[in-house]
Structure 1
Amino acid sequence: NVTGHLASGLPGDADAVKMIYLAVELTDLVAGPARSAADAVDLLEQLCRRLAEGMEERGWELSAAAPLVGEVLGHELPSAVAVLGFASTEVVPRLARTTDEIENILRALNGGFVPAGPSGSPTRGLVNVLPTGRNFYSVDPKAIPSRLSWEVGQALADSLVARYLADTGDYPASVGLTVWGTSAMRTQGDDIAEILALLGCRPVWDDASRRVSGFEIVPVAELGRPRIDVTVRISGFFRDAFPHVVGLLDDAVRAVAELDEPAEANYVRAHADQDTAEHGDRRRATARIFGSKPGAYGAGLLPLIDARNWQSDADLAEVYAVWGGYAYGRGLDGRAARGDMETAFRRIKVAAKNVDTREHDLVDADDYFQYHGGMVAMVRHLTGESPEAYVGDSATPDQIKTRTLGEETHRVFRARVVNPRWMAAMRRHGYKGAFEMAATVDYLFGYDATAGVVDDWMYEKLSAEYVFAPENQEFMRQSNPWALRGITERLLEAAERGLWAEPDEQTLERLRATYLELEGDLEGGGE
């Protein structure tokens, strides 16, 4: 935020030229290169760090903000003072109360009352979720999507359609989207808003309660594109926490399917008409929301990958369909509908998953490859071709981006997975840090098995940094040799399955030797 205010307070146009100009100007305040827009961002971040460190030294006293800004920047900048003032009065005091976590746990164990607080993500502007350690409550399901998330959802839909148009020259006939309850709680419904926008609908809110009272259909002429069919794979938590939203989306799909519009302007109706002609059941033909069996959770792929008990896409798709082939909506309530799910999945041209926070990424948890990668694998199995796999990035709501899954994987790989600073941070966490490194390799492998997104050079880099680098190898041998063995075994499995298509034979020999050595040490009790 301070970076934005600093940039907005200096002269120039809002483009790359302005940023380069800023970089040159900023060298009067802080040392560093000034040849590109990226350099300008780096210089601004150095200034922001000086401001934050200066406020820390001054105990985050509100009165210190204005003098410090003048000292660091050489002139007054009221917007930066306002941001530091907000940090002093709101953010820092709330962060200081994170010790409430232990106190409230002990109070709960003693039968005492734990104060309530809202859920959400501080990185999405929800500072009121701090301090942590409270008994958090969810959002009002009837207030999803919010007005702000509607703006973000529209931008996500527009970005996805624009990217597909640029990549293929056509509109996607059907989009598959993975929707989680935790994301809905953090964003107040970005994913839901995107689905409505793709369908060509908009929410209607009650002004008094801010609740969603229904939806209205946007005319095709105003929409400016065809209505995109959307197939949704919901998580078990979303099913349980947001039944009202499931009903809203189902109503929207069914309403759009009954519009008197030509097939080329309304893919939802075109597909529903095709399926109705085949089996005569309009309700089945408009089922677009699928999830786990009532009372069940997950996508089922993690146990399969961990057990190494699979051979092809058919095995992955079978598990994904068995776990997710239940239809939800008005009057459906988790009805077994594997056939209808597969019919909808055969039409998917884009398999999408949105990322709304910088607090975790695609290879930080197994759910990403299970839900999103599983969708890609199932479509590939059903059609013989992989759909376009996209990741919508709304972590900065006013800078929505749609990347391919490959682009996002490469970005995360370079920014975190093999980032020396991240690996150093994991080494500070001992056993758990080594476990996180091993889990990251597992999740990358899972995404590669389902969606084919890990290149050979990435496997080589993982071998070099996680297994062969003396500092990391010694750390894991001492802190968690099982993690090092697991990483080595997973890399060898990638080569055996052909995911690592052309591994260097010397690299494989070193991996085998390391694995056998670890196996001997562990079986011998580490003697």
Structure 2
Amino acid sequence: MVKYIQYLMGETTSNPVENGQGPVMAAPDWGLYHPDRGVMSVAASREQIRTWIEGNPGLIPPYDSLRWIDQNFSSWAENQRNDVYREFENWYSANKNITGPFIVVVSYNPSNTVDAIIREAERQGRAAFNLYQGATSPAVSSLLEELTLGVNGKGPLNRNISAVISLYSWSLNYANLPSGGALSELERINLPVLKAVQLYSNSSLTNPLGAQYEWTWQVTIPGFEGVFSPVVVSYTDSSQNEVVIQSGVRKMVELANAWARLRELENSEKKIAVILYSYPPGKDGFTASYLDVFRSLHELLVKLNESGYRVERIPSPEELYTIVSEFGNKGTWAQPLLERYVSEHRRELEARGQLLDIQRYLEWFNALPEKLRSEVISRWGQPPGNIMTVNGSIVIPGLMLGNIFITVQPARGWDEVTDYHNPYLPPHHQYLAFYRWIDEVLGADAMVHLGTHGTLEFLPGRMIGLMEDDWPFQLTSLPNIYPYIVSNPGEGMVAKDRSGALIIDHMTPAMVQSGLYGALIEIHDLIHQYENALKVGNNQILPALESRIKTEASEMGFNMTGNFTEALERLHLSLHEIESDIIPLGLHSLGRVLEGDELLEEVLTIASSRSDLLENIRKQLYPGLPAYTEMLKDPLRYSDEIASVKNLARLWIGSIINGTVPSGINATDLEFINDTIMKIRGNTEWQSILAALSGGFIRPGLAGDPAWCDVLPTGANFYSTNPRKMPTRAAWETAVRIVDSMLAEYYQKHGSFPELIGMVMWGTELLRTDGIAIAEFLYLLGVKPQWNSNGDVNPAPVLMNASELMITVNGTRIPRPRIDVFVTAVTGNQLWIDLMNKAVELAASASDTENYVKKHYSECGSLDRVFGLRGLVLEGTGVSDMTPATSRWNTSSELADVYLSRVSYAWRSTPGGVDIQQNRGTFQYLLGKVNLVTQNLDSTWRLMDTDDYYDWFGGMVLASRHLGGNPDTALIDIRNRNTVTVRTVAEEIELEIRSQLLNPKYMDSLLNHPAGGLNMLQGTKMSLELQLQPAASAMNSGTSSQGTF
């Protein structure tokens, strides 16, 4: 072919056609393949190709493909393909004694891995073949659509296709990648597409973080098209040979087969295991992040019954709570309760095999790799252990309603642990038995893990690219359908990458303005009476008003000591902050669409953060005043104007909700509000859950907080943004604003800049905010990222000039130093770790300004600044687990020691991947020197909503104080993209208690969900107790500006 093109271009006088040398296509770009049949395709004749080349030369942009191939050959081949499809099916039926629908393996070309997958599928009784396409046109997604739907909805095959295994990277329609790739074809095909991963880097096999090198283009980008359930099936060895990983191939086929069966079975035949999360063990532990678990469970049963599933009866949400509470997990300290449960329900438990005998369990246990068996026995003893066992039998609790089994995920086991220093905790025997039982005894066709989040995906092992010696790999052989809150991409991606979950994201509760209530309203009115009396000179009533304000404010815990004028201003500012704080209202029930005031307030919250609505209203109402965001910085001066802007925004949004276009609104704001309302109302959560249970394709969508990202409508198989683009340019600009504000506040308080800052950085926050925290880390060092033309961050950052390191303090521009910074990172992304390590090294080399990185390097001899848990561990620091177990420690020093032992692992960049080595000496040096500890608050979750803040942020402060440090704390509230507020821990806790926990609006909204709401309150209470008990004093000892509460 090359020689013929050279002849046509005049580069040679020898015509290879006349010499019998071409033109020919050496091998078809596409075809069907089976290892027992070889390739089946079509090949054009020599004369056809010559005619096409001569008649249609040239290239087609943007990828410069040959015009004659994309147009002439493709058109000709399309007319030939149906014959190939039918011929292959005839061959298969004649030569293979396997009936039923096909699984299709799509790839660039036939290979050893393709052979292995097809052989394994047939071993499992499933017909399979390979559809390969090495060119971009026609796209393999188009070929799939042709195979399945044909021209009029009926494909050329007599058999159906029930699932697809993809070995493709990037996209199944690469030429269309900028415009959605293969998404439109995959939606029409409506098949589950599972991802088989091939490793091309030797380090991916040994890297404790897993397959970092390949993950973005093999898993992350395909996820934008709805491809899911990644399993590693091969690797390339040092001799560049493709080596099949048979355990991965077997698992890949098992999963594809299971998804295929969901398409093929009648709903009345399917068995579904619905798994609730329960922590801590007991009746108060049934929670999921802002999801009404029992109302959603009730609705799930209703929907399944309506869809033809066999559901014997449907208890009310309250009945479900009572039933599940009875059979829920029992710790070893509650053995009598477990024995009573077994005694009262023995007949049905025995009939359903829920009292698992030791011999059956040993069959499963002994099939595990030796490494994993040893880990379990070392920590939990010989089978069956003592957790959830009665008379030697392992208890699998649960309720069978027809073909629907309702159960609770086994307790993780931390409550049984006495030594918290070792973070590696293998699952216990009952945990292992539970998932095997669901598959092999119950015979479930799918699992539904109901709500965010369980523990399966966090079991020890590689972070991504799991293999047979990783725990989640061993326990996931069924379709795992996972309703998950849309605002948690980091942990949701862990579930997708490590447990093969098909995420169905759900809405957050409505996020609304707190408002004032009760005595706070009265105090606020008294303040305005006082200020009005002062203005008009009505001095005779001032003493009485002052006395009442002091008395009532003090009774509410506000600090009114000292100068009254200053105390009054602090109080007034605090009340405005409480009033405008954004809080969650109630719990979300799956499928529920916001309406009324909740819809209005949610739209206002989103528009306030992601649009210029409030600023545009300010321009109309008050064109001579500062920008709206500037007015917010002086809320006492502009309180009336701020209220007027918000009130008009509410009127506009309310009108649009009711179908009326308000006068005065511009087209951009109208479009944004309309679009937001439509997307909130476009909730497809139930449709997607039912479609997943039928083996259908689930629309992909972006994950993140609705106030930060365009993530609606919910009901999507969510994905995170591309980590190669983080931090984005917008995130960098926001980070500069955040750091400048934080440093200015610190300088005003101390008269100097901090030398050393400790940051807590969570992967989920990075994914929600496009990497703002990484940008903050770089900017503190005086280093900035660079981006290529595609918006990807270049691997090598660059130094900022000293002239760029200037900030404004009290109206004066002053230079600031390169500030040393270290981070405890809850992420395993190698790109981010590399970027931060390179930034530290670069900053240490600079000599153009005061440089605290260089100073501390000369003192401690190490540039390790990125720390975290040791490899193969994804759970916490141990502080929040150990703190409530007061019988197991005596002083806060013991808590600090657990934190130090777990988190003092330095994550370093090497050519072969990330090297994780403990460096406790440097970590302790940094903690002892740290001046300021900081973390971003960017979403629904705050300190009262989860113990993770106490675990990581509190753990860092606790360890610092244990080592003689005395750091300030700064929690940076960036929940609204247009505003930044910095608070100490004590100030944040006080605000959350006043605006949320004590707010009747919040309490009443939870009480509307009798079972779920009470559990949510219990979880909030536990988080509050962690913050306020004596062991936490090191964390929140910084005083609030308003005093006690």
Same fold (TM over 0.5): yes
Distance 1:112 1:134 in 2: 13
Report matched runs for 1:54-453 at 5 Å. 54-58=655-659, 64-65=660-661, 69-70=662-663, 77-79=664-666, 81-88=667-674, 90-98=675-683, 100-124=684-708, 126-127=709-710, 129-223=711-805, 224-235=815-826, 238-239=827-828, 242-260=829-847, 265-276=850-861, 285-297=862-874, 298-308=876-886, 309-331=888-910, 333-357=915-939, 359-383=940-964, 385-448=965-1028, 449=1032, 450-453=1034-1037
Bigger shift: residues 399-408 or 414-423? 399-408
Confirm or deny: 8 A CA contact 1:199 1:229 kept in the other structure.
yes
Where is the strand percentage greater, Structure 1 or Structure 2?
A: 2
Confirm or deny: 8 A CA contact 2:968 2:1038 kept in the other structure.
no
SS for the counterpart of 1:333 is strand
Letter in structure 2 aligned against 1:259: A
Percent of aligned positions with the same letter in both sequences?
29
Distance 2:755 2:1040 in 1: 33
Asked if residue 42 in structure 1 is aligned to residue 643 in structure 2, the reply is yes
Distance 1:244 1:19 in 2: 39
Confirm or deny: 8 A CA contact 1:175 1:231 kept in the other structure.
yes
Equivalent position of 1:31 in the other structure? none
Confirm or deny: 8 A CA contact 1:152 1:394 kept in the other structure.
no
Asked if residue 8 in structure 1 is aligned to residue 619 in structure 2, the reply is yes
Report matched runs for 1:470-485 at 5 Å. none
Distance 2:979 2:697 in 1: 41
Unaligned runs of 5+ in 2: 1-607, 806-814
Distance 1:172 1:217 in 2: 20
Bigger shift: residues 416-425 or 132-141? 132-141
Letter in structure 2 aligned against 1:180: W
1:199-257 Cα distance to aligned partner (Å, 9 max, x none): 0011111023443343110123431211110010011xx22xx2101110001101212
Q: Per-residue deviation at 1:106?
A: 2.2
Q: Per-residue deviation at 1:438?
A: 2.3
Distance 1:49 1:219 in 2: 46
Supply the RMSD in Å over aligned alpha carbons: 2.6
Confirm or deny: 8 A CA contact 1:377 1:386 kept in the other structure.
no
1:31-81 Cα distance to aligned partner (Å, 9 max, x none): xxxx963333333333332322222222xxxxx31xxx23xxxxxx243x5
Change in Cα spacing, 1:157 to 1:427, as seen in structure 2 (3 Å) is: same
Q: Per-residue deviation at 1:184?
A: 0.6
Confirm or deny: 8 A CA contact 1:313 1:380 kept in the other structure.
no
Distance 2:933 2:1040 in 1: 23
Q: Per-residue deviation at 1:259?
A: 2.7
Q: Per-residue deviation at 1:405?
A: 1.9
Confirm or deny: 8 A CA contact 1:310 1:316 kept in the other structure.
yes
Confirm or deny: 8 A CA contact 1:409 1:453 kept in the other structure.
no
SS for the counterpart of 1:353 is strand
RCO greater where, 1 or 2, for CA within 8 Å and sep 6 or more? 2
SS for the counterpart of 1:150 is helix
Change in Cα spacing, 1:454 to 1:414, as seen in structure 2 (3 Å) is: farther
SS for the counterpart of 1:123 is coil
Q: Per-residue deviation at 1:348?
A: 0.8
Distance 2:753 2:891 in 1: 30
Q: Per-residue deviation at 1:93?
A: 2.0
Change in Cα spacing, 1:49 to 1:15, as seen in structure 2 (3 Å) is: closer
TM-score normalised by L of structure 1 = 0.73
Distance 1:453 1:428 in 2: 35
1:431-460 Cα distance to aligned partner (Å, 9 max, x none): 221222222222223233151359899999
Distance 1:56 1:401 in 2: 31
Distance 1:257 1:243 in 2: 21
Unaligned runs of 5+ in 1: 24-34, 59-63, 71-76, 277-284, 462-527
Confirm or deny: 8 A CA contact 1:392 1:401 kept in the other structure.
yes
Count of aligned pairs: 412
Equivalent position of 1:516 in the other structure? none
TM-score normalised by L of structure 2 = 0.38
Confirm or deny: 8 A CA contact 1:153 1:190 kept in the other structure.
yes
Confirm or deny: 8 A CA contact 2:688 2:716 kept in the other structure.
yes
Where is the helix percentage greater, Structure 1 or Structure 2?
A: 1
Distance 2:732 2:742 in 1: 15
**Greater Rg over alpha carbons, structure:** 2
Change in Cα spacing, 1:310 to 1:435, as seen in structure 2 (3 Å) is: farther
Q: Per-residue deviation at 1:363?
A: 1.5
Distance 1:172 1:460 in 2: 28
Change in Cα spacing, 1:160 to 1:107, as seen in structure 2 (3 Å) is: same
Change in Cα spacing, 1:386 to 1:435, as seen in structure 2 (3 Å) is: farther
Distance 1:421 1:432 in 2: 17
Distance 1:314 1:456 in 2: 25
Confirm or deny: 8 A CA contact 1:145 1:212 kept in the other structure.
no
Distance 1:49 1:447 in 2: 36
Letter in structure 1 aligned against 2:873: A
Change in Cα spacing, 1:229 to 1:36, as seen in structure 2 (3 Å) is: closer
Distance 1:361 1:38 in 2: 26
Change in Cα spacing, 1:221 to 1:83, as seen in structure 2 (3 Å) is: closer
SS for the counterpart of 1:391 is strand
Equivalent position of 1:474 in the other structure? none
Change in Cα spacing, 1:140 to 1:457, as seen in structure 2 (3 Å) is: closer
Change in Cα spacing, 1:209 to 1:42, as seen in structure 2 (3 Å) is: closer
Q: Per-residue deviation at 1:370?
A: 1.0
1:382-408 Cα distance to aligned partner (Å, 9 max, x none): 01x431011112223332222222222
Change in Cα spacing, 1:111 to 1:311, as seen in structure 2 (3 Å) is: same
